[in-house]
Amino acid sequence: MTLTAILIVASALFGIGLFGALSQKSFVMLMMGLELMLNGTLLAAVGFWAFTLEGAPKGQLLAILVMAVMAVELAIGFALVVAVYRKRQADVVEALGTLKE
Partner 1 sequence: MMDIAFYILSAIAIWSGWRVFRVDSMIRATFALMVSFICVGGIALLMSADYIGIATVFMMAVEMMVMGLFMVMFMMNPAGLNPMQMVHQYRLSIGAGIVAFIGLTVAVLATDLPHNPLPADRDTMRDLGINLLGGSMLIFETAGVTLLATMLGAVILSSRRGRFGNSDVGAVPPGLQPGGTPAGRKVEAGGGHGGHGGHGGHDMKIVKTPEHEDMGHTHHEMAEEKPAVSDAEPMDQRDHAVGHKQGAKAAEPLKPEHDHSPDPHKDHGNTPKKEP
Residues between 26 and 65 with contacts to partner 1, criterion CB under 8 A: 26-29, 31-33, 35-36, 39, 42-43, 46-47, 49-58, 60-61, 63-65
Q: Does 95 bind partner 1 (CB under 8 A)?
A: yes
* Gyration radius (Cα) of the chain, Å: 17
Q: Whole-number minimum distance, CB 4 to partner 1, in Å?
A: 6
Number of residues that bind partner 1 (CB under 8 A): 80
